[in-house]
Every structure is written in C-alpha cells, then in structure tokens.
C-alpha cells in the first residue's frame, strides 16, 4: 500500500498542474496581505462606520488574526476549485493517458488501487491547506502583529481575546480539512466516470459553484434546501469564531461532511470495481 501511495504521490507532484493551486493561493494571500499593509486601516474604518457611531474603539484592530480571518473567508470558497484540478484528474487522467488498464494488470486489487489514489489526493488536499494556513496565519502575525480579534458580522460584533484565538484557528483549519476532503472525494467519484480529466474537473467546479450560489442566495425557497447542501456545511468553520461556540452545529456539519466523504469514496470504489476498463 505504501509503495502504491508513494507512486501516486510521485505522479501528483511531478505534474506542473499540481503547483498551479499552490501558486494561485500564494498569490492571492500575498496580494491580500499587501493590500491590508498599505491601506488596511481605511478599509477597516469603512467597515466599522456603523459601530463607531455609538462607540469609541481603541487599540490595534488590524492584526494578523484579523487578516488571516479575512483571507480564510475569501479563499475557502475558492480553494475547492483548485482541489478539483488534481482530484478530478486522479482516475480520468490515467484513462486519458491510456495507463489505467496497464496499471490494473499489476497484482493489486482495485480497492487498494482506489484507496492509494484517494489517499494521495487527500495528502495533496491537506498539503494545500497547510500551505495556505502557514501563509495566512504565521506570516500575517509576523507582518501585522497580534491583538484581539474583532469580527464584524451583519448583525453582531464578536470580540475575541488574543489569548483565546489561536486554538480557534487550529480547529477551523481542521474543519476546513474535512470540508476540502469532501470536495476532493466528489471530484474523485466523478473522475471514475470519465475518460478525460476535464470532465470531472468542470463537473466538480459546476457542482461547487451551483451549490455555493444556492447557499449565498437569501431566498426562502432556497433556504429550505440549504441544510442539505454540503457547501453550506463547509462554511461552518466560522462557528469556531462565535462566542460561545456552537459545538453541536459544528459537530453536526462535520459529521455530515464526513458522511459525504464516505459516500463519495465508497461509490467511487464500488463503480470502479464493476467498471469495464477499456482505456
């Protein structure tokens, strides 16, 4: 299994396509940090206008914690698209190159083969998230420093003590890992059905975009559907930045996402085991 995994990881990290996601994430994070470094105070003044009508707020508002929160809020909606680039290619890419049939001539069961493929995709997803975490949290903290975290929500302002923030980021990144794995497993499943990697990549992106649009639209008809959309639960990493934290809701979302992962991966293995491999 370990040898299989090593081969799969080698294949993933040999491809230039893999590094597009890392480059895109680095570019976006650095641009956000630069923007906040040069004009962040003005941006925050604008955002806090409503609050400053009634209150005097003193202290360091623009901190590394706040910049990291803004980065996560901006990026975690788009990272699934980058994950689809690699996850959607895992089986369909082999089929497209004509190596799938050759690979299956080796004395390895299809289930083990699929597990190795999925584990490699999972490792890629986690590395991408780790890369994002390092760039957005320690780098932001070293540039902007530490302070209490003030989160401006539409109807609420949450202020978290600086000593009470770090664990929330660890928890949020942990939750984000589950959320991103859900997208990876969906792309992995769709990859089984295609002979060309473009199909599953675009299909995954389409599902994520469609569900995200349904999630963002505040229309009563869609509100009824939202609890069933996995993209809606993917946003629950923000729950760790509530006071008090609604663990029940986060746990429910985490469980639902893990259910999706198990369902997608099991379906992928089931279909692949039955599939007539012709390429």
Partner 1 sequence: MKYMLVTLLLIVAPFFLFAQKEEELVKKVKSKLNQVNSYEANGIIKIDVSFIKAPNSPVRVYYKKPDKFTVKKEGGISILPKGGFSTNLNSLFMTDGYTIVPAGETNLQGSKVKIIKLLPPDESSNIVVATLYIDEKELLIKKSVITTKESGTYEMIMLYGKYSTLGLPDKIDFIFSVKDYKLPKGVTIEYESGEKKSSAARPGNQKGKIEITYSNYVINKEIVDSVFENNK
Binding site for partner 1 (CB under 8 A): 41, 47, 50-61, 73-74, 146-148, 150, 152-162, 164, 215-216, 218, 222-227, 232, 235-236, 242-243, 249
Q: Looking at beta carbons only, is 151 or 187 nearer to partner 1?
A: 151
Q: Looking at beta carbons only, is 156 or 278 nearer to partner 1?
A: 156
* Closest separation in Å from C-beta 272 to partner 1: 34
Q: Looking at beta carbons only, is 170 or 228 nearer to partner 1?
A: 228
Instruction: From residue 80, give the alpha-carbon distance in Å to each of 91, 177, 205, 234, 253.
Output: 18, 11, 8, 10, 17
* Closest separation in Å from C-beta 79 to partner 1: 14
Q: Looking at beta carbons only, is 158 or 277 nearer to partner 1?
A: 158
State the pairing for strand pair 149-152/157-160. Answer: antiparallel
User: Rounded CA gap, 81 and 101, in Å?
Assistant: 28
* Closest separation in Å from C-beta 40 to partner 1: 11
* Closest separation in Å from C-beta 258 to partner 1: 18
Q: Pick the closest to residue 71 from 16, 137, 1 (CA basis).
A: 137
Region of 243 (left: φ > 0; alpha: ψ -120 to 50; beta: rest) is beta
* Closest separation in Å from C-beta 164 to partner 1: 7
Do the beta carbons of residue 268 and residue 185 sit within 8 Å? yes
Which uninterrupted H or E stretch holds 232?
helix 230-234
Q: Looking at beta carbons only, is 92 or 176 nearer to partner 1?
A: 176
CA 46-49-53 angle, 5° bins: 165
């Amino acid at each position: 299994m370990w040898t299989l995994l090593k081969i799969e990881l080698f294949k993933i990290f040999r491809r230039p396509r893999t590094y597009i996601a890392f480059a895109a994430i680095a570019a976006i994070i650095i641009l956000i940090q630069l923007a906040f470094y040069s004009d962040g105070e003005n941006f925050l003044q604008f955002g806090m206008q409503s609050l400053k009508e009634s209150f005097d707020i003193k202290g360091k508002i623009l901190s590394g914690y706040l910049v990291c929160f803004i980065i996560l809020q901006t990026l975690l909606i788009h990272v699934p698209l980058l994950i689809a680039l690699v996850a959607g290619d895992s089986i369909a890419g082999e089929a497209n190159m004509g190596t799938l049939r050759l690979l299956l001539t080796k004395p390895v069961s299809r289930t083990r083969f699929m597990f190795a493929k999925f584990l490699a995709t999972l490792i890629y997803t986690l590395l991408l998230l780790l890369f994002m975490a390092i760039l957005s949290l320690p780098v932001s903290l070293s540039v902007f420093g530490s302070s209490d975290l003030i989160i401006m929500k539409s109807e609420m302002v949450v202020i978290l003590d600086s000593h009470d923030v770090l664990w929330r980021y660890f928890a949020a990144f942990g939750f984000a890992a589950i959320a991103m794995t859900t997208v990876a497993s969906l792309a992995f499943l769709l990859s089984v059905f295609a002979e060309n990697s473009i199909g599953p990549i675009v299909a995954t992106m389409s599902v994520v975009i469609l569900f995200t649009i349904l999630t963002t639209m505040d229309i009563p008809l869609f509100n009824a559907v939202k609890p069933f959309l996995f993209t809606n639960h993917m946003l629950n990493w923000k729950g760790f930045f509530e006071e008090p934290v609604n663990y029940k809701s986060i746990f429910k979302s985490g469980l639902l996402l893990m259910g999706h992962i198990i369902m997608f991966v099991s379906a992928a293995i089931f279909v692949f085991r039955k599939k007539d491999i012709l390429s």
